[in-house]
A = this chain, B = another copy of it.
Amino acid sequence: MHVTTVGLDADDTLWHNETIFRLTQERFRALMADVAGPEALDARLAAIERRNLTLYGYGVKGFTLSLIETAMELTGGEPPGRIVADILAAGREMLSHPVEPLPGVRQALAELSGTHRLVLITKGDLLHQEQKLAASGLGDLFAAVEIVSEKDAATYERVFARHGTGAAEAAMCGNAMRSDILPALQAGAFAAHIPYPLTWAHEMAETPASHPRFAELAAIAELPGWVRSLG
């Protein structure tokens, strides 16, 4: 078996993302402190995000709309204007937030890109993901970029067929068990999980510890060595 292609998740694998959502959510809690306690607020927001997921998908713009909707519901439909204004401002700030690669990312990718085709595979707003990749300065290390609306086994089959030599000769790396690891294994690829301290509740899943093609890595610095070990 010869691994030719390495897929990499972007958000929370190459750069911070969930942290920025959490910071915005904390700002939202402060903003709504007179209206609802943090737990009631978080629960309502989570329910509204879930309800909107099939329409809005993943990304900042849908999150911003869900924040406004949450403020509407919890204020009897009459949120103070400053709350709406602050939510809109928070959304814009998330979209223009500076992007800095996580520690060890640049070095690991530079090392791997000499021997393997690197493919960025990420969900989210198309424009925003392209802007983040450009801002990260990592763009030149990737042979291809695929921004997808869903990460399931069919997605990995298609992407590794298009940009590599098929899923069987590919390895996927990411922080989200449910969208980066399990469907990639199902597609027949290798998969390495690199946990991020914060993981979105929707992404929690069991670890496939006994799967022969699975590895748990402590940091992305371990990725090049693991990929080499696959042959």
| A residues apposed to B, CB below 8 Å | 52, 55-58, 61-62, 64-65, 68-69, 72, 75-82, 84-85, 88, 91-92, 95-96, 125-128, 130, 147-149
CA distance A63 to B158 in the complex (A): 32
Q: Closest CB-CB distance, A154 to chain B, in whole Å? A: 13
With both beta carbons as reference points, the residue of chain B lying nearest to A89 in the complex is identified as B69
Residues of B within 8 A of A72 (CB): 81, 84-85, 88
In-complex Cβ contact of A81 among B77, B82, B147, B149 (8 A): B77
Total identical chains: 2
A77 vs B83: C-alpha distance when bound (angstroms): 10
Taken together as a complex, chains A and B put the C-alpha atoms of A126 and B56 apart, in Å, by 10
Chain B: which residue is nearest A52 at the CB level?
Answer: B92
Let me know if A55 and B96 touch, CB within 8 A: yes
On whether the beta carbons of A65 and B56 are closer than 8 Å, the reply is no
In the complex, residue of chain B having the shortest beta-carbon distance to the beta carbon of A144 = B162
The complex places the Cα of A125 from the Cα of B64 at a distance, in Å, of 15
The 8 Å CB contact of A126, one of B64, B95, B149, is: B149
Contact B57 A125 (CB under 8 A): yes
Are A92 and B61 also in contact (CB < 8 A) when A68-B84, A126-B125, A126-B149 are? no
A91 to chain B: closest residue by CB: B65
* Most chain B CB atoms below 10 A, which of A75, A81, A82, A130: A81
Provide 8 A-B residue pairs closer than 8 Å at the C-beta atoms, listed in order of the A residue: A56-B61, A61-B61, A61-B62, A68-B88, A72-B88, A78-B81, A84-B84, A126-B148
Distance in angstroms from A198 CB to nearest chain B CB is: 24
Question: When the two chains form their complex, are residues B69 and A79 in contact, meaning their CB atoms are under 8 A apart?
Answer: no
Chain B residues whose C-beta falls within 8 Å of the C-beta of A84 in the assembled complex: 68, 72, 79, 84
